[in-house]
Amino acid sequence: MAALDLTPRAPLPPFSYEDAVKKVRMAEDAWNTRNPVKVAQAYTPDTRWRNRSEFLTGRDEVEAFLTRKWATENGYRLIKEIWAHSENRIAVRFCYEWHDETGQWFRAHGNENWEFSETGHMAVRHASINDVPIAEADRKFLWPQGPRPADHPRLSDLGL
95 by Cβ neighbours in 10 Å (0-12 / 13-18 / 19+) ranks as buried
Residue 86 lies in a domain: yes
Residue 4 lies in a domain: no
Residue 1 lies in a domain: no
User: What pLDDT does residue 39 have?
Assistant: 97
> What's the domain range around 101?
17-144
**In whole angstroms, what is the distance from residue 35 CA to residue 51 CA?**
18
Q: What is the CATH number of the domain that holds 93?
A: 3.10.450.50
User: How many structural domains comprise the chain?
Assistant: 1
Residue 61 lies in a domain: yes
pTM: 0.95
Cβ-based neighbours of 15, under 8 Å, separated by 6 or more: 23, 85, 86, 87, 88, 90, 116
Residue 3 lies in a domain: no
Residue 154 lies in a domain: no
**In whole angstroms, what is the distance from residue 108 CA to residue 96 CA?**
5
Residue 157 lies in a domain: no
Residue 118 lies in a domain: yes
Element at 110 (helix H, strand E) = strand 105-116
User: What pLDDT does residue 1 have?
Assistant: 53
Distance of CA 95 to the CA centre of its chain: 9
**In whole angstroms, what is the distance from residue 12 CA to residue 116 CA?**
8
The answer to whether the CB of 92 falls within 8 A of the CB of 114 is yes
**Please, what are the averages of pLDDT over each run of 10 residues along the chain (160 residues)?**
75 98 98 97 97 97 98 97 98 98 98 98 98 98 96 96
**In whole angstroms, what is the distance from residue 58 CA to residue 24 CA?**
21
